[in-house]
Structure 1
Amino acid sequence: MTEAAGHEREASNIMRSIERAKAVISPEDSEIRAPCRARHPQGLGPERERDREHPFVIGIVRGEGIGPEVVDAGLAVLDALSSTGTVTFERRCAHPTREGGNGEHGSAIDGTFRRFCEDVFTDHGVLFAGAVGGRFVYDMRIAFDLYHKINPIATNASLRDVGCLKPDRVDGVDLVVVRECVGGIYQGRWHTDRADDTQRVAAQSFSYDESQVRRVVRIAAEMARDRRRRLLLVTKPNGIPDISRLWLDCARDAAQEHDVELTTLEIDYAVYRLIDAAPDLDVVVTSNLFGDILVDLGGLLLGSRGLCYGASYSADGAAVYQTNHGAAHDLAGTDLANPGGQILSLAMMLRVSFGLHDEADLVDSAIDDVWRAGFRTPDIMQEGCVAVGTREMTDRICSRIVELAATTASPC
């Protein structure tokens, strides 16, 4: 392949990824009122929608800890959608087996699991995953060039009094964090030496190349252009000078190209602003480490870390959907885990990767209706509400999906 052809192919891949990642159509575009709709970027459109008559392929990774419970909740939602007769899904299940060879952690992606993922992606499918320990998420991103992650953070009016923040700090929050996933400190090199018989010296080195940064800030700028035209870049200029300068140069170019307003904040002040003035934020673009911090903190805005979710994407449509919380081994088997984040990631999957906007709206609306009716898992419990476990919350959401589907299908 010539150099020019390589650049052309890369540009084409980036444009396809941008089209997938565009942010949101307003709720008024649908008969189903979907208060959570602004959580999700726009879907792929006609290319995927034309396959509606054929099963959509989903690779299931149930994970560990509470992973199997919340992933099973998502699968129950798929069953509810399938029962409406409008769409079918083909499920394929696997679990990664760790091998040695990647630092002291070992690789999370063995040959069998890699082939499983390749087959799913080749058939235009995606992965729906629970939490997996070790370096699973990092190794997956390298193995399949899942180079950017999108994390929607949009609050729900039914939960405005749930968390530790004042309601006026969470009202109207609707932002998206876009972070780079295949460069930086999480993908660096590390080792431990001994300075002498008494001390160890641990070291880790990392870098970004310009192409890695440019393709991520382009996606973020495109999303900002289609939302409120505000792009926030988060760096640390004095602490990480050259890398911060590279990000700023690339972000300035992308903002100018897409005619959006660019502001920059250092990570420490960005954390403060996220809590103090989140409604003012639109699209945030940053490195993996800084994005990781911001998104987990976003759980305070949502009312629970159990509601944080997102997806990692490649340029050609490969994707992994999952929550942002960990395996929570202490909650495994207790029926106390909140399935909300995992189910919201499934709704994002339906909309973004499969173009199933109506089905995604059903899921979003069902979740909101159940919360509004006062049914809550312990982490989002309020006075006057009814405490339910993982299974009952899932059952209620599934029942509501079926009810809403029957209502919208009625000629009356």
Structure 2
Amino acid sequence: MKIAVLPGDGIGPEVTAQALKVLDVFAREGTPIEFEHGLIGGCAYDESGHPLPDSTFKLAREADAILFGAEGGFQYETLSRGLRPGDALLSIRRELNLFANFRPVVTWPELVGASPLKAERLEGLDLMILRELTGDLYFGEPRGVTSENGVRVGINTMRYDENEIRRIAHVAFRTARTRRARVCSVDKANVLESMELWREVVEEVGQEYPDVTLEHLYVDAAAMSLLRSPQHFDVLLTGNLFGDILSDEASMLTGSIGMLPSASIGDGTKGLYEPVHGCAPDIAGKDVANPLASILSAAMMLRMSFDMHSGADRIERAVRRVLASGYRTADIAEPGTKLVGTAQMGDLVVAALS
């Protein structure tokens, strides 16, 4: 089991280190796990002049799974396109064809009070946001900033072909079959032709899954419903842009974006696993970041890339025990809880695994 470890920038190295502590428990127990580290993002640019060095891409391509931390930083925002830290992650997603992004949104009972929503709206919440990851405005052409009649014009193209839509729709319906058999497809078909095609193709695929209920929502209505009645959703199928926005909104259902793991999968079992929260440079190096999203991403890795369901369950139970014992990082702290730092939270999860 060869895992490419790409901690990246900001709080990425801190939270990834805690996930590695947890995975190392399984290595010590005899699971054949091999870790190999690589540079990506801003730190790779500082070292080599490019955010995705050839050696890092080779490592990612040859690994069985990728554990990613975060990328970015204020100092890189003025770099040319192609040299920014975020371009490295986009390149890996595209080149390895990791088109299906799974973002589970689960409200842990111990954290109901950390969410700004009323507790009765969150009880038993368990939904999966399934985001198409290699199309849409992020990759569509033409794009760029040009000049027309002396006026600057910014261009991005929302583009999907039916094959791209069809494959992510199949993933959504197959996923729903393992859950509560409901898919809600999110689009803007009343305005955008690309989303009109999205709806048509999802409908066609849905006919192959008569045991799964399909509904459609426009993205603005979906955003409202996520806050008004989140328990209604099971699998939320979205395009790249809408999924990016809705999943960050959904983080408030869990109490903090520091609780959201994710997995990006292609046609096989190879996947890239990462916390959703980003690099958070303002708190980097201060031992205050929440590592639980990274740890839970490692659990997703065991389950989805290595078929280690019992190991993934063990990690999730350990996180639950730590939360039930009252330990919290700053982002999920409430009165009466015990505040801990990044490293101590990782140590607590490791201890709970035993």
Please, what TM-score do these two structures have when normalized by structure 2? 0.90
1:81–1:401: 8 Å Cα contact kept in structure 2?
Answer: no
In the alignment, does 2:54 pair up with 1:111? yes
Q: Give the deviation of 1:108 after TM superposition.
A: 4.1
Q: Give the deviation of 1:252 after TM superposition.
A: 1.2
* Cα deviations by residue, 1:232-273 (Å, 9 ceiling, x for unpaired): 010012221x21221112111222211111111010110010
**What does residue 326 of structure 1 align with?**
278
**What does residue 17 of structure 2 align with?**
72
Which of 279, 297, 300 is 2:231 aligned to? 279
**What does residue 79 of structure 2 align with?**
none
**What does residue 130 of structure 1 align with?**
69
Which of 244, 262, 265 is 2:195 aligned to? 244
Gaps in structure 1 of 5+ consecutive residues: 1-55, 99-105, 403-412
2:265–2:271: 8 Å Cα contact kept in structure 1?
Answer: yes
SS at match of 2:70: coil
**What does residue 191 of structure 1 align with?**
144
Equivalent-residue separation in structure 2 for 1:144 and 1:81 (angstroms)? 27
Aligned AA (2:274): Q
Q: Give the deviation of 1:281 after TM superposition.
A: 0.5
**What does residue 255 of structure 1 align with?**
206
Q: Give the deviation of 1:371 after TM superposition.
A: 0.4
Equivalent-residue separation in structure 1 for 2:195 and 2:149 (angstroms)? 35
Which of 86, 90, 93 is 2:34 aligned to? 90
1:80–1:399: 8 Å Cα contact kept in structure 2?
Answer: no
TM alignment of 1:151-300, pairs within 5 A: 151-189=103-141, 190-195=143-148, 199-240=151-192, 242-259=193-210, 260-300=212-252
2:7–2:40: 8 Å Cα contact kept in structure 1?
Answer: no
**What does residue 14 of structure 1 align with?**
none
1:148–1:179: 8 Å Cα contact kept in structure 2?
Answer: yes
Aligned residue-pair number: 333
Equivalent-residue separation in structure 1 for 2:131 and 2:247 (angstroms)? 10
1:97–1:110: 8 Å Cα contact kept in structure 2?
Answer: no
SS at match of 2:10: coil
* Cα deviations by residue, 1:129-165 (Å, 9 ceiling, x for unpaired): 0112322222111111111111111111111111211
Q: Describe the shift of the 1:107–1:298 C-alpha distance in structure 2 as closer, same or farther (beyond 3 A).
A: farther
* Cα deviations by residue, 1:306-353 (Å, 9 ceiling, x for unpaired): 111211111022210001111000111111000010000000101111
Equivalent-residue separation in structure 2 for 1:274 and 1:159 (angstroms)? 18
2:41–2:88: 8 Å Cα contact kept in structure 1?
Answer: no
**What does residue 81 of structure 2 align with?**
none
Equivalent-residue separation in structure 2 for 1:196 and 1:208 (angstroms)? 30
Please, what TM-score do these two structures have when normalized by structure 1? 0.78
SS at match of 1:175: strand
**What does residue 302 of structure 2 align with?**
350
Aligned AA (1:131): A
1:97–1:113: 8 Å Cα contact kept in structure 2?
Answer: no
SS at match of 1:137: helix
2:131–2:237: 8 Å Cα contact kept in structure 1?
Answer: yes
Equivalent-residue separation in structure 1 for 2:102 and 2:40 (angstroms)? 23
Aligned AA (1:191): G
* Cα deviations by residue, 1:33-57 (Å, 9 ceiling, x for unpaired): xxxxxxxxxxxxxxxxxxxxxxx21
2:8–2:41: 8 Å Cα contact kept in structure 1?
Answer: no
Equivalent-residue separation in structure 2 for 1:381 and 1:173 (angstroms)? 20
Equivalent-residue separation in structure 2 for 1:196 and 1:243 (angstroms)? 28
Equivalent-residue separation in structure 1 for 2:346 and 2:177 (angstroms)? 36
Equivalent-residue separation in structure 2 for 1:128 and 1:151 (angstroms)? 15
Percent identity over the alignment is 34
Aligned AA (2:120): D
Equivalent-residue separation in structure 2 for 1:284 and 1:293 (angstroms)? 13
**What does residue 48 of structure 1 align with?**
none
* Cα deviations by residue, 1:272-326 (Å, 9 ceiling, x for unpaired): 1011111110011110111111111111000001111211111022210001111
**What does residue 392 of structure 1 align with?**
344
SS at match of 2:113: coil
**What does residue 322 of structure 2 align with?**
370
SS at match of 2:279: coil
Q: Give the deviation of 1:375 after TM superposition.
A: 0.6
